[in-house]
């Protein structure tokens, strides 16, 4: 058996129900830093330390109690080694003639994968920041708008306790929603007079250009479809596809509310920002027609109970005059 398991890149250990090493492959032995004869029958806390040892022993007992496989991600520090992050699968083993009941633990070092993911996230954030700055320079009258939409969208998504990918998708889409404005002439973006119908449609449809521009970027979530769906309404009266309710991505429903909220409460050079409570009131009036009630409720709760009113009070400050 060792001929097979010792060639595996993962640590493989069999523990008894008390957390003692009953069998292990070469990778597990190398990680322990002990001789083979010293590791056998040693308690896990004596190898991993009291804190991590107790945590692992709890996982072993949990696996045996439920008698079903479980998976845990945990950090370990070994003497003279860099911290490692492992994903460990715990598989219950029935008692046999020469072996009591125990748990098979297969651990994979995922530290490199996590570091690569973190590096990729940093690069994406830098890319998003660079794209947002380009738009802000071309449309000084609404500078910081998309950044604020991203901030509000993230807060709402977290308030709704969505999955991490959905939170990130809402935040990124909020930041990039105005990217398509780079195709709109500067004189239209900075126009202070009433827009013509053609100019209005040009700005309205720039959101679809935003979706088109990012469709080939490998985000974890569907940022492009989120952007494409920002003008959908929950009652089906929106564009471009007339989607209704849950058929609209949750990230799109969140960014739509965030965009409307930021637009109302943000000061412009020609007007003051709207009071937060008044803005929420307007959003509530459009619940069931344009907006998802859960999203608006989450926004209101964040403002009243999570410090949103204080955190976002700067939205109402007058922007510096455009050069």
Query: Which pLDDT belongs to residue 115?
Result: 81
As given in the structure block, the two tokens for residue 198 are 């053609």
Asked if residue 25 has pLDDT above 50, the reply is: yes
Q: For residue 315, name the pLDDT band (cuts at 50, 70, 90).
A: very high
pLDDT in tens, 259-289: 999 999 998 777 889 999 999 999 999 999 9
Q: Containing domain of residue 63, as a range?
A: 2-109
Whether residue 280 is found in the same domain as residue 190: yes
Q: Dmax over Cα atoms in the chain, in whole Å?
A: 88
Would you state the structure tokens that stand for residue 72, as one six-digit string?
Answer: 């845990």
What pLDDT was estimated at residue 5?
64
Say whether both 156 and 230 belong to one domain: yes
Closest CA to 313 of 161, 138, 158, 151: 151
Same domain, 142 and 271: yes
Residues 244 and 196 in one domain: yes
Q: Residue 88: phi, psi to the nearest 5?
A: -115, 130
Unique residue bearing structure tokens 């935003």: 210
| 322 part of a folded domain | no
Range in 177-186, 237-246, 266-275 the model is least confident about: 266-275
Which H helix or E strand runs over 48? helix 44-48
pLDDT at residue 47 greater than cutoff 70: yes
Residue 307 pLDDT > 80: yes
Same domain for 182 and 277, yes or no, is yes
The string of pLDDT tens digits covering residues 131-178 is: 888 777 777 666 689 999 999 999 999 999 999 999 999 999 999 999
Q: Return the CATH number at 298.
A: 1.10.3210.10
Average pLDDT of the residues in 182-203? 88
Contact status, residue 9 vs residue 27, Cβ threshold 8 Å: yes
Helices marked H in 67-204:
111-138, 145-159, 164-176, 186-189, 197-204
177 inside domain = yes
Q: Is residue 157 part of a domain?
A: yes
Closest CA to 24 of 32, 34, 35, 13: 13
Same domain, 123 and 250: yes
Based on the domain organization, do 139 and 238 belong to the same domain?
yes
How many CB atoms sit inside 10 A of residue 211's CB? 22
My answer on whether 25 and 136 are in the same domain is no
Q: What is the mean pLDDT of the chain?
A: 89
- Give the model's confidence band at 190: pLDDT under 50 very low, under 70 low, under 90 confident, else very high: confident
Q: Look at phi and psi of residue 88 and say left if phi exceeds 0, alpha if psi is from -120 to 50, else beta.
A: beta
Upper half-sphere CA count for residue 119 (Cβ side, 13 Å): 6
pLDDT bin (cut points 50, 70, 90) of residue 214 is very high
Radius of gyration of the chain (CA): 27
Confidence of residue 83 (pLDDT cuts 50, 70, 90): low
Domain final residue pick, 109, 143, 165: 109
User: For 72-93, what is the mean pLDDT?
Assistant: 78
Q: Are residues 140 and 286 in the same domain?
A: yes
Q: Which residues, at least 6 apart from 193, have a Cβ–Cβ distance to it below 8 Å? A: none
Q: How far apart are CA 150 and CA 135, in angstroms?
A: 14
**127 and 247 fall within a common domain:** yes
Q: Answer whether residue 321 is part of any domain.
A: no
Please report how many Cα atoms fall inside a 13 Å half-sphere around the Cα of residue 295, on the Cβ side: 30
* Domain CATH number, residue 80: 3.30.450.20
Return the structure tokens found at 228.
Answer: 């494409």
Q: Is the pLDDT of residue 191 over 90?
A: no
**pTM score above 0.75:** no
Q: Check whether 194 has a pLDDT greater than 70.
A: yes
Domain boundary among 81, 109, 137: 109
CA distance 292 to 198: 30
Residues 87 and 168 in one domain: no
Read off the pLDDT band of 116 (50, 70, 90).
confident
Lowest-confidence segment of 125-134, 161-170, 179-188, 307-316 by average pLDDT: 125-134
Do 308 and 181 share a domain, yes or no? yes
pLDDT grade for 320, boundaries at 50, 70 and 90:
low
Rounded Cα–Cα distance for residues 322 and 319 (Å) = 8
322: pLDDT strictly greater than 50 = no
């Amino acid at each position: 058996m060792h001929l097979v398991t010792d060639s595996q890149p993962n640590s493989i250990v069999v523990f008894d129900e008390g957390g003692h090493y009953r069998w292990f492959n070469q990778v597990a032995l190398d990680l322990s830093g002990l001789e083979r004869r010293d590791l056998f029958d040693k308690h896990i806390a004596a190898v991993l330390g009291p804190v991590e040892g107790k945590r692992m022993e709890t996982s072993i007992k949990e696996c045996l109690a439920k008698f079903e496989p479980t998976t845990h991600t945990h950090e370990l520090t070994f003497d003279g080694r860099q911290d490692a992050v492992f994903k460990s699968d715990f598989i219950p083993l029935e008692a046999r003639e020469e072996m009591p009941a125990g748990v098979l633990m297969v651990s994979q070092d995922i530290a490199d994968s996590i570091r690569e993911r973190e590096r990729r996230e940093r690069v994406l954030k830098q890319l998003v920041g660079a794209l947002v700055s380009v738009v802000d320079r071309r449309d000084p009258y609404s500078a910081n708008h998309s950044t604020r939409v991203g901030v509000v969208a993230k807060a709402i998504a977290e308030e709704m306790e969505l999955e991490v990918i959905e939170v990130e998708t809402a935040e990124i889409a909020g930041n990039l929603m105005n990217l398509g404005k780079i195709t709109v002439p500067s004189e239209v973006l900075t126009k202070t007079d009433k827009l013509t119908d053609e100019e209005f449609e040009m700005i309205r449809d720039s959101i679809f250009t935003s979706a088109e521009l990012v469709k080939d970027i490998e985000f974890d979530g569907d940022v492009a479809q989120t952007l494409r769906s920002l003008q959908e309404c929950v009652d089906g009266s929106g564009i471009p596809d007339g989607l209704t309710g849950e058929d609209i991505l949750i990230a799109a429903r969140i960014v739509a509310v965030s965009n409307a909220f930021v637009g109302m409460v943000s000061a412009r050079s020609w007007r003051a920002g709207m009071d937060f409570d008044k803005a929420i009131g307007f959003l509530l009036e459009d619940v069931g027609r344009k907006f998802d009630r859960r999203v608006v409720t989450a926004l209101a709760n964040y403002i009243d109970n999570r410090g949103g009113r204080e955190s976002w009070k700067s939205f109402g400050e007058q922007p510096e005059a455009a050069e």
